[in-house]
Structure 1
Amino acid sequence: MCALFPTARVCGQAVTSFNFPGDNLMLHAAFRVAEPGDILVLTNGGSPQGALWGEIASYYSRIRKLGGAVIDGATRDTVQITEMGFPVFASHVSVSYPGKRGPGAVNVPVVMAGVTVNPGDLIVGDADGVMAIPPSHVEAAVRNAEARMAKEAEIKRRLDGGETLYDVGGMKGLFEAAGIVEIDAAWTDRP
């Protein structure tokens, strides 16, 4: 799923909605169960047919204080959504209008881009993408993220101190392990 605008960020619990392709009736059922801060996670199997989301859904979500929408399917009204700053991530953009016939389901496991998302999973997303973290893995994910941030801060500190990325990253050992031979010459200098 791609962010509609680069500063879009989401972090909250998933309320899932499975929608028939070209239809968004179950979106309205998801609105009925969503609480402030929740992230609506909608799928129609990834079809670009019938936009699942648009300006009015974003506007209503802001009123409801929802945390964002992640859509494996189409959204529309991208300029208006961007202007209001409501975080939306989608696999497609389409002008097509959805039907409201069903069938579908709310708060059931859904598959999005090959990943199973369960109701209540922690949804975290930014311009680089979206992750679904089961509640039982949240503490480990936070610890790993904090460790990664500390490691990257140390790398930056060392780079600021004048070290090279080659040295800081231990590239010499990796090059040797891969059988890469470094030659200190230009390719035109070789016989």
Structure 2
Amino acid sequence: MSAELLERLRQLDACTVSDALDALGLLGAVTGIARRSGSGVVAGRVVTVALAEGPAPAGAPKVHLGARAIEAGDANSLIVVSHPGIDAGGWGGVLTQAARLVGIQGVIVDGPLRDMDEANGLDFPIFARATTVRTARGRVHEVATNVPVTIDAVIVTPGDYVISDGSGAVFITADNAEKVIRTGERIAAKERLMIEALKTGKPVSQVLGADYEDMLEAIQ
């Protein structure tokens, strides 16, 4: 079931899925996290990394942030990094190499990313709020892997579904995935019909007036 839903989700885009959430009265859309590398739409099941400001506590295991998430993920995973928001990289080049080698779909960082050119050279999809040259060492540390995190007021739980593209990221709880994706498919089908109507010469004012404005209400 998960594989089927992911395949269907990957046929959509983030804006359509956001519209589906609106139609269903659900939260999950996050803006301001821009594409920094890679291309196209990425979708997967969430593996989370929770970061906190400052160096790791004395005696804590010396494991690089993000490493556990890469080992916990697979080819259907998308890593989501909760970041305290200071100027320090929440993801970097060696992590990108490692994630790509195991087939991770992409990474979303709710904060700064570094080594962006390296990620672009690998065509690896990463989305982040900013870029930086500053290392995480001594500035941020990993608190936990695969725990619930909050991204822009959206609670994101390991195993949730996520889709991200150049417009932003959208999170879907596992319980809601089927109905959100189904609603998104209906919206996408409606939009395709609208485009076909435009191609036949129907005035855009009619297509976007009569159809578009009421689309979300009618799609439920």
Which band: TM-score by shorter chain?
A: 0.7 to 0.9
**1:134 and 2:173 are equivalent in the alignment:** yes
Preserved CA contact (<8 Å) 2:38 2:119:
no
1:87-122 deviations in whole A, cap 9, x for unaligned?
A: 101111100001267450111110112211100001
2:7 maps to what in 1? none
1:125-163 deviations in whole A, cap 9, x for unaligned?
A: 111111111011111111111111111111111111111
Where do 1:68-107 residues align within 5 Å?
Answer: 68-99=106-137, 102=141, 104-107=143-146
C-alpha change, 1:93 and 1:160, in structure 2 (3 Å) is same
Aligned length: 171
User: What's the CA shift for 1:49?
Assistant: 2.1
Preserved CA contact (<8 Å) 1:22 1:51:
no
1:158 maps to what in 2? 197
Q: Which residue of the other structure, out of 96, 113, 125, is the alignment partner of 2:152?
A: 113
For residues 39 and 114 of structure 1, the distance between their equivalents in structure 2, rounded to whole angstroms, comes to: 19
2:6 maps to what in 1? none
- Alignment TM-score, normalising by the size of structure 1: 0.81
For residues 66 and 29 of structure 1, the distance between their equivalents in structure 2, rounded to whole angstroms, comes to: 13
1:4-23 deviations in whole A, cap 9, x for unaligned?
A: 14724321111111111366
For residues 153 and 160 of structure 1, the distance between their equivalents in structure 2, rounded to whole angstroms, comes to: 11
For residues 118 and 19 of structure 1, the distance between their equivalents in structure 2, rounded to whole angstroms, comes to: 15
For residues 82 and 28 of structure 1, the distance between their equivalents in structure 2, rounded to whole angstroms, comes to: 20
CA RMSD of aligned residues (A): 2.1
**Aligned residue identity for 1:17:** V
2:27 maps to what in 1? none
Q: Once superposed, which parts of structure 1, at least 4 consecutive aligned residues long, lie more than 6 Å away? A: none
Larger relative CO (CA 8 A, sep 6+): 1 or 2?
2
User: What's the CA shift for 1:73?
Assistant: 1.4
Give the SS at the match of 2:134. Answer: coil
Higher gyration radius (CA): 1
**Aligned residue identity for 1:97:** T
Q: Unaligned 5+ residue runs, structure 2?
A: 1-32, 56-62, 214-220
- Alignment TM-score, normalising by the size of structure 2: 0.71
1:183 maps to what in 2? none
For residues 90 and 152 of structure 1, the distance between their equivalents in structure 2, rounded to whole angstroms, comes to: 29
Preserved CA contact (<8 Å) 1:48 1:94:
no
C-alpha change, 1:22 and 1:67, in structure 2 (3 Å) is farther
